[in-house]
Chain A
Amino acid sequence: MRFLLRPPRLDDLAGAVAAARAARAAGLDGLLLAPSAELPAPLIAAAALAPAVDDVLLAAHVALGDRHPVEVAEEVAVTDLVCAGRLVVVAVPGAGVARADYEEALDLLRTALAARPFRFAGRRWTVPANLEQNVHGVERRVRVTPTPSRPRVEVWTAGAAAGPDGRRALGHVADADDDLGALAAAWSAAEAEAGPALIGAPRARHHTWDGDPAALRAALRAGREAFGQDWAIVRAEAGDAAALGREVRPHVQLDALPPGLEAHWADGLA
């Protein structure tokens, strides 16, 4: 089980750096950056954080389907370079975006992040558009540059409208209140559709830290049992990262711990 800390309020650079350092010090895998009124562009926040904090993954909500996906791809590529490959794109549908537009944007985004010139003829977007008014040096295929830091950028789907997607075989982030039975069915259907392509695709879910490690451990084990959950995105203050790192994370790494080990740890804490 891997852990991303999602601080409830991120409104300046010092706070974001402190949260990322707390996650790192606690052995968590990284931060999830979602938009807020003060910081509406999570990719910018990721790019600002990356040079200040080593090692941690920087997962960022990226809205799809509202803006041109080529522009989004450029922002993702540059942010991934600044993050030296530590970026995870959590692709959420933009406000009011229909499922079909979200999926088309997802496909165009991933096409544009590859290293070959392409044409894309979608229902909503055509790239290049080859508009008759554009006359000089217009291209038949475009190559979006620069390329990201790694061979591929990690892209996960998320949001209520987008369940796990067998055809695209991407990671997926479930909401905290998604029904476990429904998630199990959705992942089984995705597996049936994708076959081996879905092996290793991250299965994440949102949680909120309420100070009760036993309850969070139980929720994580239940998620793993039901749909193979292997990532936890935990809404918690930077100051709670240490408790997550000590009292939750070690307990849920293995399928089962040797008898007596948790009691031994509890003794040490008491």
Chain B
Amino acid sequence: MSHGTSRLGVGLWTFQSSATRPASIPEQYRRFAAQAALLDRHGFHSAWTAEHRLWYDGWCPALAHATAAGLAATERLRFSSAMMLLPQHDPGGVVANARTLHRLSGGRFDLGVGLGHRDAEFDALGLRRDRRGRLMDAALQTWDAAWDGDDRPPVWIGGLAPAAIARAARGGHRIMLPQTVLAHELAQHAEPFREQSEGGDGGAGVVGAMRDVWVEPDPARAERFMEAMVRHYREEAGAWWVLRGEVGFTAPEHLDRQMARVRACALVGGAEHVAAGLTALFDAGVDLVVVRLAFDFVEPAALEEQIARVADEVAPLLPAGRVVA
């Protein structure tokens, strides 16, 4: 196993065909198995999917089913999600899906869950968005009651808010911090989490963080990637997020602030630059970094090249440390 990659997950597979890059959706589901096999060969920790529903571009709403496609082609790679929108799912169905994945994968599935944010997604399913915290807690209770002993998938709770941190700590779960947290800000979230954590799924106190990453030593090309990525997030937040009570595009100043944040946090540049940024996260106490290389605008061949570059050029520069199961 190449050192360094064992503390890195790779994401985020969303299986979209967007206006920015129209693509065959069936091909993306088929290619996921080959891309997971590539991660497996390079010794990465895990592959991460992401969920939304009812988007024009087919954003995947059923992550467990997409994930299943990667099992047969891999032997050691883990699979998780950042995030599955747990309050939007039937809790018993989530358990049945996870139990099946856990068994078929030989224990290589982690449940990664977040709250979800878009009213329309809740509304389609007859759910109130303002009840999402309660729905999340109820679903996690169902989850905990469904498993005997320690033979159960670890759970990652996504988010940053004190309620998310407290929820993860209370349940003995792990946290997955979003890509918009700077290394020097990590401690303010990770330390309360570690203090509050108590035994649960054996993963108490485990901290993950996401990071937008692109290995490109040429400054002009790196900047072109950065611009494309910021444009991607501007579209996502502008069309689909509510920022302080307003739909994104109608609140341009909030959108600008959010995009400045995206730019400040992303690690785009040569291998040394990317490795230094990831090392800062590990040094700040992160156990696992999920590097986001996959976006709707990235061609599959470019994604596969980036996976190899992170493994071959960045991972050898990373510090050794605790590898989470």
Hey, which bits of chain A sit against chain B, CB under 8 A?
Answer: 11-13, 16-17, 35, 38-41, 43-45, 47-52, 66-68, 70-71, 74-75, 77-79, 81-82, 84, 125-131, 133-139, 142-147, 149
Contact = CB atoms under 8 A, between A and B. Distances in A.
Contacts of A138: 119-120, 123
Contacts of B131: 133
A147 B58 contact: yes
B130 to A, nearest CB: 5
B124 A142 contact: yes
A82 B122 contact: no
B125 A38 contact: no
8 contacts: A44-B104, A45-B104, A71-B93, A82-B30, A128-B120, A134-B129, A136-B118, A146-B15
B66 interface: yes
A13 B124 contact: no
Q: Place the interface of chain B in its size category.
A: 35 or more
Contact of B104 (A12, A43, A142, A147): A12
A136 B119 contact: yes
B73 interface: yes
A80 B56 CA distance: 19
A40 B65 contact: no
Interface in B119-148: 119-120, 122-131
B69 A50 contact: yes
Given A137-B118, A145-B55, A125 B104 contact: no
Residue among B69, B70, B242 with most chain A CB within 10 A: B69
Contact of B72 (A17, A44, A79): A17
Query: Residue among B54, B62, B127, B247 with the most chain A CB within 10 A?
Result: B62
Interface stretch (B94-102, B178-186, B209-217): B94-102
B93 A133 contact: no
Contacts of B242: 136-137
B53 interface: yes
Contacts of A47: 65-66, 68-69
B247 A68 contact: no
Contacts of B92: 66-67
Contact of B62 (A52, A79, A129, A130): A79
Nearest to A127: B124
Nearest to B131: A133
Contacts of A142: 54, 120, 124
Interface string B238-254: 00101000010000000
Given A125-B126, A130-B123, A137-B118, A81 B26 contact: yes
Contacts of B64: 41, 44, 75
A93 to B, nearest CB: 16
A47 B93 CA distance: 16
Nearest to B58: A146
Given A39-B104, A134-B123, A78 B61 contact: yes
Nearest to A67: B90
A188 to B, nearest CB: 37
B221 interface: no
B103 interface: yes
B34 to A, nearest CB: 9
B53 to A, nearest CB: 6
A67 B69 CA distance: 23
Contacts of B39: none
B189 interface: no
Contacts of A130: 123
B82 interface: no
Given A51-B72, A78-B29, A128 B124 contact: yes
Contacts of B105: 13
Given A38-B99, A41-B99, A144-B54, 13 more contacts: A11-B103, A13-B72, A13-B104, A48-B72, A51-B30, A74-B62, A78-B62, A78-B65, A82-B65, A125-B126, A130-B123, A133-B131, A142-B120
